Every structure is written in C-alpha cells, then in structure tokens.
A and B are shown apart, each in its own frame.
Chain A
Amino acid sequence: DSGVTQTPKHLITATGQRVTLRCSPRSGDLSVYWYQQSLDQGLQFLIQYYNGEERAKGNILERFSAQQFPDLHSELNLSSLELGDSALYFCASSEGAFSGYGYTFGSGTRLTVV
C-alpha cells in the first residue's frame, strides 16, 4: 500500500456520461497530481493541486475538471465522456509544491467508456 488511495479501481460507463474519480493523498502530502495513461498517448499530466489551490496545468481537456478539498483529498470530474477517454487515471501526491522528494502514486482507476 503506497499510502495514496484511489477510488474506484474500475469504472465502466457510457458515452456522454459524467464520472468522478477520487484520490486521498499520503498522510502529510499537500500536493496532488492527476495523470492519464492511454494506450495510444502514453502518460500525460493533467493537473496539480497544492494545499487546495491549482498549482500547474497540463493537457487537461475543458470537459475535465478537478479540485482539492480542505482535507486534501482530490476529485477529478470527467464529463461528456467519449470513447477516447477510456484510460488509466493515476493520482500521485508529494510533500511540497515542487516534488523535490519524489512522488507516491496511487494504484489508478481504470475507466472504460462504452
């Protein structure tokens, strides 16, 4: 157990739907990062939150949004889902805003859009 908890582990949903993925960071970590891993595009960075504030943004679609709550857990919301959104979504956490001490990854949520 890495200390980073992602739920659910698997999710199957239909096109056009909206889903929420949840991440609880390792105890003491203030940063949460979201990544998408698809077969054709590899790993892509979506967004980072640090202590409740958006810190950095990558290739996140407008249909996707995220937030970090006061208890530091984070949620990634994916809406108007398309077949191409099927992927593994990873969350990672780190102590600081700049991951000088490396990250801890969760085990991922596998999203299948049918």
Chain B
Amino acid sequence: KNEVEQSPQNLTAQEGEFITINCSYSVGISALHWLQQHPGGGIVSLFMLSSGKKKHGRLIATINIQEKHSSLHITASHPRDSAVYICAVRDNYGQNFVFGPGTRLSVLP
C-alpha cells in the first residue's frame, strides 16, 4: 500500500462544476501540502495544512488528522483549473516528504 493515495486518478468536469479531489495517507505527518502542476510542468504550492480548513479564492482544502484524509475542493471550476493536483505529506519529524501520484483534472468549456 502506498503511503499517500489520491482519488480519482483522472477527472473530467464541465466548466462551473464543483470538484473534489481526495488524499489519504497512512503515516504520521507534521503537515500536508497540495500542489498544482500545470500542463507546461510548472508547480505551484496551493496550501499547507496541519489542521482544519483553508480557503484561497475558489479553492478550499480540508484535513481530518484522525481519519488521515484531506480533500481539495474547487468551486465554479474553469478550464484554467486543468492541471495535475498533487498531495504531499511531510513526516512527523519534519524530514521526508512523500508525494501522492497526482490527480489529472480536465475542465471542459
């Protein structure tokens, strides 16, 4: 079993839809990160979470430490949201990072 799993692997949505991407992990963590990788390869750090919920524009990230689960929500999705979304966790000692396999999102106009 991989330490960090994401679902779904691929997601196609229509513009305007509400999107949820899930991340579950099996190790103790000090923080969880959500990253966005654009089709050209560039990576943007979206959120760093250690508890609760964060919001930035149309993006919302939540984490449930007890259930070892995080979700990334995109409201009113837009074609420019098309990217690979990657969940990453940093271990309890603040040492290693482990990355999920990514969720490829395509938002159609």
Task: Give chain A's interface residues, CB within 8 Å of chain B.
Answer: 2, 42-45, 56-59, 88, 90, 92, 97-105, 107-108
Contacts and interface: CB of A to CB of B under 8 A. Distances in A.
Nearest to A103: B45
B48 A56 contact: no
Contacts, number: 53
A56 B94 contact: yes
Nearest to B40: A107
Tell me the dominant secondary structure on chain B's binding face. strand
A8 to B, nearest CB: 15
Interface residues of B, number: 22
Given A99-B90, A105-B44, A105-B45, 17 more contacts: A2-B42, A42-B99, A42-B101, A43-B86, A43-B88, A45-B97, A58-B95, A92-B43, A92-B45, A98-B31, A98-B94, A99-B48, A102-B47, A102-B48, A104-B45, A107-B42, A108-B42
Nearest to B43: A105
Given A56-B94, A90-B43, A105-B42, A44 B99 contact: yes
